[in-house]
Amino acid sequence: MSELTTWQHFIGGTWVEPASGQYVESTNPATREVLYRAARGNATDVARAVAAAREAFEDPRWRDLSQTRRGHLLRRLGDLIAENAEDLARMETRDNGKLLREMRGQLATLPEYYHYYAGLADKIHGDFIPTSDRQVLNYTAREPLGVVGAITPWNSPLTLTSSKLAPALCAGNTVVIKPSEYTSATVLRLAELALEAGFPPGAVNVVTGFGAEAGQALVDHRDLAKISFTGSTATGARIASATAGRFIGSTLELGGKSPNIVFGDANIPNAAMGVVAGIFAAAGQTCIAGSRVFAHRSVYDELLERVTERARTIRIGDPLDEKTELGPLAFEDQREKVAGYVDLGRGEGARVLTGGRATDGGGLGGWFYEPTVLVDVHNDMRVVREEIFGPVLAVMPFDSEEEVVRLANDTEYGLAAGVWTTSLSRAHRMAARLDAGTVWVNTYRAMSPMSPRQGFKTSGVGVEHGTETIREYTRLKSVWINTSEEPVADPFTMRS
C-alpha cells in the first residue's frame, strides 16, 4: 500500500507540522479514494502564521521593495502557474471533482490574475491636493494594510484564492490563507510557487484545517488588518460580526440565487445553452449559478424542451475524462444537501421534469447527482429562495418585463443575473433595473480579473478584481506639510 501524501502548513517559507499533531484527510469525490492528509490547524498555528506574515510585512526586503519589483514578482508567479498549469488542473480536479476541461480553462486564465496585478503594482499612488494656502502642501498616499487573512471555499480554490492574493500582494500586504478543508493541496502548492517566484518567506502563508478551528482563529486574531472571505452568506455574516468590534475591513464574496431571464425575442437555442451553462457547469457548485430561470410564456415550452433535452443527455462521469460534462458534488454532505432540497421541492409541490436522483457516476462510486429541472415552482418556495449549490434548476414563466423585474429582484441575494434578448433597448433597461452586481446579456459566467465584481444585498460587501479592489487592500493617508518658515502668529487659527 502506498504511503499517503502529507501536507504540512506553509508558514514563513517552510513546511510546519501542526501544533495539534493532527491531520485532515481529503477525498476524491468521484471515487471516494483518500487522496492526501493536510495539517489540522488551530489557534497556535494561526498565531505562528500571522507572526511570520507580520515579520515579513515589516522586513525591509518586502517593505522597501519598489512597486515595480513587486510587479516583477507577481509576473514571475503568473509565469510559474502557467508552467505548472496541467499539474495544478489535475490536482484540483481530483480534489473537488471539477471537470478537467473546465480546470484547464481556469488554469489558462489564472496567470492573467497575476499579470494584471503585476502591471498595476507601480500604478498605485496617492494624489496631490490643492489647498487654500499655497504654502501648505497636502498629498495622499495609498499604503498597504498589513497582514491580510484570506479564507476561501472548495469550489474553485486556486481562482478564488488568486482573486485575493494577487491584489493583496500587489498593494504590498502579506497574507495568511485558510483554504477549505476539502481542497488544501493546490493552495499549498501555490504558496510554494510564490516562494519560488521570489516573494520573501512569510509573504504568503497557508494554514489548513477546519473553518471552525483554523478559520475562526484567523478571523479572531488581533494582529490581522483585514479579512477577505469567499464562502456562504451564513459564514460571511459570522465573520462580519466577529470583525465589527475591531473595525477592521472585510471583503465578503458570498452566496447567490441568480435569475437567468429569457425574453420572447431571444435567440432560443443560444439562451438554452446559456441556461444549461449557468446551472449545470461545475455541477451547479458556483456562486453565480443561474438557478432560477424565468422564461417568457411565449417561449417557455420551447426553452424548457431544449434545456430538459440537453440536461437528459449530459454525460456524467469521471471528471478527468475529457468527454465528461458533469462531475460529482464535492463531498458527501453536499450531495445530501442537494438531494434534501429536491425532496423538499417535491414536498412543496414542484414537479421534477428530469433528474432528481443521486447516482454513482456509472460505477465510479462517487457523490454524483443528476442534472435536475424543476417546474411548477414559484418564488415563495424554499427551492426557489435558498441557494442549493448543486445541479438543480427551477424554471418559471412570466408575462411582462415589469413582472420579471419584480420576480428576479425578489430575493435576498444580488450576485449576478442573465438576460437573453435581441432588443438592445431592453438589454440596457434590464441591466439598469436588475438588483445584481453582475449582469450578463446573451452570455453567462463571463469573468475576468480586469472586471470588478461586487455582490449586492446578502451576496457580499466590497469589490474583487479590477483596479477597484486595490482600495480594499490599501489605506489612504493624508499628509500636510507647511513649507513656510514664518513664525506662527496665532495657534487658534492654524489652518490652511
Contacting positions for ligand NDP (CB under 6 A): 151-155, 160, 178-181, 210-212, 215-216, 219, 230-232, 235, 238, 253-256, 287, 387, 389, 415, 455, 460
**Least Cβ distance, residue 231 to ligand NDP (angstroms):** 3
- C-alpha closest to that of 120 among 463, 464, 450, 446: 450
Closest CB to ligand NDP among 138 and 232?
A: 232
> Which of 112, 181, 253, 387 is labelled catalytic?
253
**Least Cβ distance, residue 425 to ligand NDP (angstroms):** 30
**Least Cβ distance, residue 462 to ligand NDP (angstroms):** 11
CB atoms within 10 A of CB 301: 11
**Least Cβ distance, residue 460 to ligand NDP (angstroms):** 6
> In the annotation, is 253 catalytic?
yes
Closest CB to ligand NDP among 222 and 323?
A: 222
**Least Cβ distance, residue 204 to ligand NDP (angstroms):** 17
Closest CB to ligand NDP among 23 and 62?
A: 23
Q: Are 334 and 182 in contact (CB under 8 A)?
A: no
Closest CB to ligand NDP among 51 and 219?
A: 219
C-alpha span between 379 and 382 (Å, rounded): 8
**Least Cβ distance, residue 14 to ligand NDP (angstroms):** 23
The type of residue at 138 is N
Which residues share a beta bridge with 205?
A: 176
Task: List C-alpha distances in Å: 307 to 66, 311, 390, 404.
Answer: 53, 6, 16, 20
Closest CB to ligand NDP among 26 and 84?
A: 26
**CA-CA-CA-CA torsion sign (276, 278, 284, 289):** negative
Task: List C-alpha distances in Å: 2 to 5, 33, 34, 35, 410.
Answer: 9, 13, 12, 11, 53
121 burial type by CB count under 10 A (0-12 exposed, 13-18 middle, 19+ buried)? buried
C-alpha span between 170 and 438 (Å, rounded): 24
Q: Are 270 and 420 in contact (CB under 8 A)?
A: yes
Q: Are 440 and 418 in contact (CB under 8 A)?
A: yes
Task: List C-alpha distances in Å: 331 to 34, 96, 285.
Answer: 12, 8, 11
Closest CB to ligand NDP among 398 and 473?
A: 473
Beta-carbon contacts of residue 228 (< 8 Å; ≥ 6 apart): 148, 149, 150, 151, 164, 168, 250, 251, 462, 472
* Residues designated as active site: 253
